[in-house]
Amino acid sequence: MVQTSPPTPEPKAHHLPPGSPEGLIFRGIHPTVVVEGGGVLHFPATTIIEPHCTFIVGPEASMHFGHNVTIYSGCCFRNKYGAYEIGDEVSFGPRCAIYELRAGLTIGAFTMIGAGVCISGVNHGMDPEAGPYRFQPPRCLPVTIGSNVWIGMNSTILPGVSIGDNTVIGAGSVVTRSIPAGVVAYGSPCRVIRPVGERLPATPASEGEA
């Protein structure tokens, strides 16, 4: 069941017609978007969803999106049960996979999820003597991402992770444990590198570019 809130007043610049020179994206849900599963899916009227996005929402699942959320082309949101709560002004880059967060997903306002990011909330059992991994009972853990977080392209966020407000996760990171607020973190596995406002020492290359 798709629920759409009544439109709220917005600045004129937010109402760009298709193909307008002012911007490449415009308000609305593209007709190629697929919604299946019978759960509750709430999109405010300010939502932008680009082509070929998929929402598989099980009968016991719900997904609630805040105002002015942008979902770029090719994203997939899937959940058998449990709730996704997405804050205002969140963006998902192309080809994100938001996969089976059955214990819950919360993303705060103004957070940017880069292209190709995978957020997963479920692990299969891994006992080789208990039969195929595919059929072993899953372990579900929630994921919480704070406000004003930037997650770089092609990163993976694993079950049970929390990421604090104002943190930046570098591209290609594999986040296996929680990351505090206000830091730059990257790597596989992801680790804290420095406070987010701290400047690195200048290198000869960066001095020449200044």
Sorted by sequence, the CB contacts under 8 Å of residue 109 that are 6+ apart come out as: 66, 87, 88, 89, 90, 147, 148
Per CATH, is 47-127+135-196 categorized as 3.30.1330.10? no
Question: Rounded to the nearest 5 degrees, what angle is found at the Cα of 160, between the Cα atoms of 121 and 170?
Answer: 90
Could you tell me how far CA 154 lies from the centroid of its own chain? 11
Q: Is 65 helix (H, G, I), strand (E, B) or coil?
A: strand
| pLDDT the model gives residue 204 | 61
137 residue type, one letter: P
The series of mean pLDDT values per 10 residues for the chain, 210 residues long, is 56 44 64 92 92 95 96 96 97 97 98 98 93 93 98 98 98 98 98 89 53
Q: Is 135 helix (H, G, I), strand (E, B) or coil?
A: helix
Sorted by sequence, the CB contacts under 8 Å of residue 157 that are 6+ apart come out as: 117, 118, 119, 120, 143, 145, 151, 163, 175
| pLDDT the model gives residue 119 | 98
| pLDDT the model gives residue 137 | 92
29 within 8 A of 9, measured Cβ to Cβ = no
Could you tell me how far CA 56 lies from the centroid of its own chain? 15
Q: Which long-range contacts link 73-80 to residues 24+ away (Cβ below 8 Å)?
A: 77/53, 78/54, 79/39
| pLDDT the model gives residue 2 | 60
| pLDDT the model gives residue 202 | 64
Structure-block tokens of residue 81: 């049960």
Neighbours of 178 (CB within 10 A): 12
Cite the active site residues.
124
Sorted by sequence, the CB contacts under 8 Å of residue 78 that are 6+ apart come out as: 54, 55, 56, 97, 98, 99, 100
Among candidate residues 117, 129, 179, the one with its CA nearest the CA of residue 154: 117
* Separation of alpha carbons 10 and 141, rounded Å: 37
